[in-house]
Structure 1
Amino acid sequence: MIVACPNCGKKYQVDPNKITGANPKFICQSCQHAVAVKNPNLDSSESLSSSASGAKKSSTTMKRLGLRGKMVLFFVVIPVFLIGAFGVSFVDQLMDLSTIITGKSGTMVAGMAEDIISEHARSVAANTKLYLDYNPGMVKADFMNSPELKRIAIQKVGNTGYSCLYSVPDNEGKSSLWIHPNAKLIGIDLPKAMKKSLGDEYHRWWDVYNGAYKGQESKGYYTWRDADNRLREKFMVCTPIKGTDYIIASTTYIDEFTEPMKSLEGWAQQQTQSIRTNVIIALLASFVLISGIVTFYGYRLTKKIRRVTEVADRISTGELDAELDIQSNDEIGDLSEAITRMKDSIRMSIQRLKKRK
């Protein structure tokens, strides 16, 4: 069997029976090149074993995580996942905080509105007492005939609310209005009329109304149907006029104070939702941008490494004419230059050996 050295062309007579192994080689005595020889005696079982070994190696190679995969995992997947988790958590906490703040703000505004209405009732009661003290002979039937007393007792509360004056029950158990914006209500039995108007809501109104009979301030909520036929919560404060049988009631719709806060709450929720959307868009854009950069750079890097590996393998089999044309101003460039120098050194060593012979 004749085998020729692919480097110098020298031919060798090889006995096929002495060839063993799956990938036999020998060193050329002329140029020291490693010459590969095909084994004609390789039986089918060895061939299958070699194929199985190669398949296993190939499978292992396919299963391993390459450099590009590691770059994607460590520089894209994990950072983006952590940033995304932080972003989602941040936005959720922001939405919760917005809900808590606006909710508490609404409660605080409602409390402030209650205080304002209460102070209004006390102020009107105090001023009404002063007027009655300076006019001791005035009877309740004449209250509505006094423009000055009406001006003192009937005052605006909020946007649509007002104050009025009513009396504690007389000997017949009748409690009547004596100063009110609606003159038609003067002198009527107010609890009886309100029971008919309020229906099931009467008991809530009644608890506030008669709570001031004993000389103590009473306050609370009840539902009233407005001019647009909507059921709305009203807040009423009943403040007794000290030393008299009269009580000042100040009442208005509480949403006249809290409605702006509800609008602010809706605006805050919209802004929070907008921030959440922007954060998600920013995360997705960052993911796409980082993925593109890492993929592009990883492709270029692994391409250079594969080229260096390929040339190194060719040099290891004696192909000293293999060229490594990588222009890179980094560690890969330094490695390629080192391999080129190694190849040149091997070639020069072979030439020196040839000259000695």
Structure 2
Amino acid sequence: MLVICEDCAKKYHIDESRIKGQRAKFACKACGHIIVVEKPESLPDSAVPTASSDLAPVGSLNTLPESDTDKVVIQPGRKAAEAAAFSATTARGRGNPLLLPLLGIMVVGFLLSGGAFLFLYLRHVPAMIRQESELRSLALAVSLEQAVKTPLLRKDYLLVNQETQRMAKLPGVAYAAVVNEKGLVVAGFFNIMTGFDDRFSQKVKEKGFPVDVLAQNGLKTGAKEGSVRINMGGLPVDDRVLALTEGNGEVHVGLPALESGQSLSQVLVSPLLLIPAGLALLFAGLLLVTIDWLVIRPARTLTNTANRISLGELDLAIAAVGSREMRDLGLALERMRHSVRIAVERMIAKP
């Protein structure tokens, strides 16, 4: 059994079979430090044969010739406590790579920011879109009312049809219609029939503009205008009705209703969201690459170099690369390597 003095590092080869009891003490010849040797419980008393050595026996212990199969025993004390603490720390595992928690933080941050965006969008944007649609439909209804008011008084129905058709062909308009005081459709035109079901489209071709649909948003007595979301041929439409100033009818302007789900899908695939999201992902990728280049790779290099030095390559220089902090760490390890090498050379040269 190989015993090393914890003060001067002098080596002694002890015959376990000569230890009486569980432990024995002897004084180091080099420094006088009292060394306590505990007998391994796994070995019987006659397991190790005795042999002579150039070292004189101390107490009841004899030293043995050096062998490659000897066990190194670290004596109890401060160094043994440090070794035990290092072993306990190593037993807990190597831990996770640095990129994993960074990637997790970025993913969580992206999800939280995306969730906050969706919450604020669904809370405020649909109402803003609905308000903007109502204002636009009111403006179109007022424009149509002003355009057909005079032709209706003169009973110029050709001009009324032309103005109504012009209004219906504007972008974003589903239909425009003019109803006289008797409830008859004087003029009614659809923009395009896309979005309506086939049965409704066939009915429009056969019977003209459906006045029964407009009746869902009829003006009450004394009312000047109104707005109701109606279902026209399977398509939700925001119908705006406005009374003619002379009391001889009303005008209707319908805009396709933009549902919150549709508006959300349009926003999610629009450049307004895709460009910032792409820039955020690009920034996150560049940040990970920068951390890997400045921190992780230099740390991995220092770890490999330290492992080689711990195996005896004391002449292996430690390169200081990476960020300032990693360079400072590399310089500190290099100074430690020089100190360890000098200490080992002194121990070897010591008689």
RCO higher in structure (CA 8 A, sep ≥6): 1
Computing the radius of gyration over CA atoms, which structure comes out larger, 1 or 2? 1
